[in-house]
């Protein structure tokens, strides 16, 4: 049987991996010894040059199905790991057929939920984790994606301005539909609640989560926050025609949630006395797209909102409100953000994503200023934060070859 590799971004180095060896037996010469999320399959994280992949053994048909599903989600701009390829036709040295393998790109600065707790995540952060999972689920449902196996284990989390952003990592049971029925949505939420409940109890049994945390209360939070966000994004609103200002207010409210309204259904009654509106197409990333348009930077939604607020404060401080906003943002980028990022020593750049480092510096500045009784300069704050906080953080990105190994899924 001939080895076959189907890849969306061909990397010749993939051929050099020991495909004739069961994945569980791959050695340290290719495997990056990182913590991984729970999986029903054998999964390994491997490094090829400067690229890092997750490799999962599975059945050929399932591997191709998940590969194509992840490609569809990628084309739709949804938060999921990027598929790299499928390897089939694997045979061991003694002629035994081996499972096919799915390769996905490692998501930098991401961690499975277990690693977050092993890195010291407290119970107080559980609502942020739940919110990230809920936002991911709502986004997938809005796009017509039925997950089928919602759980913390099937998600990777990236830090985002003190909270988290969630990415789907396992699409094996997923289906894309033109329209997702309420029954399927409710079933996904129910499965998610059951899985999250079991995962929280497992964390408590392992001593990683305070036993005083009420797992049932957290699970109810999943259900109620999902329904609240779904209603915010999709519910119909009716009002007198004299209150047309409500349309702008609805859009602003969705923007505050981080969503752009790409299509709005507006219907008036026969006499034109009443108006009914309903968002038809919404997409997360309002602040991320705004920041990218101004500076070229990419950041998670909450990070982008925080950075835009700092740009606004910079604008007000230097009385630059009459200048072109893009020029002011570029001045902030070159005079504030880039010099601060240059202060981070190379050995600490795998601790956190740059935008998250900047967010934490802004948080640190508030505490320093409160203690000092006066505003502390941003560069003095950055030096203190790097020396006293950042260097003590665990690694959250794959280190350069030969460097310390960080946590990862």
- Nearest CA to 403 out of 103, 27, 50, 72 is that of 50
Q: How many residues are given for the chain?
A: 409
The larger pLDDT score, comparing residue 122 to residue 105, is at: 105
Each domain of the chain, given as residue ranges in start order, spans 4-106, 111-234, 237-284, 301-392
Q: Return the minimum-mean-pLDDT range out of 229-238, 318-327, 357-366, 398-407.
A: 398-407
**This prediction's pTM:** 0.84
- Nearest CA to 57 out of 97, 28, 98 is that of 98
Q: How would DSSP label each residue in 89-112?
A: --B-TTS-B--EEEEEE--TTEE-
CA–CA gap between residue 158 and residue 113 (Å, rounded) = 10
13 pLDDT above the threshold of 90: no
Main-chain phi, psi angles of 396, to 5 degrees: -130, 10
111 pLDDT above the threshold of 50: yes
| Interval 275-280 mean pLDDT | 86
Query: What CATH number has the domain spanning 4-106?
Result: 3.30.200
Can you name the residues that pair with 51 across neighbouring β-strands?
Answer: 48
Query: Per-residue confidence at 34, pLDDT binned at 50, 70, 90?
Result: low
Query: Per-residue confidence at 242, pLDDT binned at 50, 70, 90?
Result: confident
Query: Per-residue confidence at 38, pLDDT binned at 50, 70, 90?
Result: low
| Interval 237-250 mean pLDDT | 87
Class of the CATH domain delimited by 111-234: mainly alpha
When the pLDDT of each residue in the chain is averaged and rounded to a whole number, the result is 89
Q: Note the pLDDT of residue 1.
A: 62
Yes or no: say if 384 and 368 are a contact pair by the CB < 8 Å rule.
yes
- Dihedral angle sign, alpha carbons of residues 339, 344, 346, 350: negative
What's the token pair of residue 22? 């069961």
Q: Tens of pLDDT along 140-177?
A: 999 999 999 999 999 999 999 888 999 999 999 999 99
What's the token pair of residue 105? 């790109």
Q: Note the pLDDT of residue 276.
A: 86
């Amino acid at each position: 049987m001939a080895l076959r590799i189907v890849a969306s971004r061909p990397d010749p180095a993939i051929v050099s991996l020991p495909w004739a060896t069961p994945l569980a037996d791959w050695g340290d010469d290719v495997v990056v010894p990182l913590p991984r999320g729970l999986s029903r399959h054998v999964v390994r994280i491997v490094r090829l040059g400067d690229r890092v992949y997750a490799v999962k053994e599975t059945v050929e048909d399932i591997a191709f199905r998940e590969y194509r599903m992840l490609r569809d989600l990628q084309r739709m701009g949804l938060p999921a790991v990027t598929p790299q390829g499928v390897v089939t036709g694997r045979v061991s040295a003694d002629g035994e057929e081996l499972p096919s393998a799915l390769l996905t790109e490692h998501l930098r600065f991401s961690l499975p939920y277990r690693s977050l707790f092993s890195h010291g995540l407290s119970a107080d952060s559980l609502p942020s984790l739940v919110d990230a999972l809920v936002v991911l689920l709502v986004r997938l449902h809005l796009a017509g994606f039925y997950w089928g196996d919602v759980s913390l284990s099937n998600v990777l989390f990236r830090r985002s301005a003190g909270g988290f952003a969630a990415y789907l990592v396992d699409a094996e049971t997923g289906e894309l539909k033109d329209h997702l029925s309420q029954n399927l949505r409710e079933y996904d939420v129910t499965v998610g609640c059951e899985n999250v409940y079991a995962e929280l109890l497992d964390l408590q049994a392992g001593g990683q989560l305070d036993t005083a945390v009420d797992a049932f209360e957290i699970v109810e939070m999943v259900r109620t926050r999902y329904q609240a966000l779904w209603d915010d994004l999709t519910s119909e609103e009716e009002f007198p025609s004299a209150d047309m200002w409500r349309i702008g207010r609805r859009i602003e409210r969705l923007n505050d949630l981080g969503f752009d309204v790409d299509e709005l259904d507006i219907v008036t009654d026969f006499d034109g006395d009443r108006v009914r509106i309903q968002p038809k197409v919404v997409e997360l990333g309002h602040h991320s797209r705004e920041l990218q348009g101004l500076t070229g930077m990419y950041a998670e939604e909450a990070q982008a909102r925080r950075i835009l607020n700092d740009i606004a404060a910079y604008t007000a401080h230097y009385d630059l409100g009459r200048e072109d906003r893009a020029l002011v943002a570029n001045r902030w980028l070159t005079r504030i953000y880039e010099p601060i990022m240059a202060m981070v020593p190379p050995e600490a750049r795998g601790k956190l994503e740059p935008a998250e480092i900047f967010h934490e510096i802004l948080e640190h500045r508030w505490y320093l200023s409160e203690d000092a009784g006066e505003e502390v300069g941003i560069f003095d704050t950055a030096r203190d934060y790097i020396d006293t906080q950042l260097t003590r953080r665990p690694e959250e990105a794959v280190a350069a070859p030969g460097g310390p190994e960080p946590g990862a899924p």
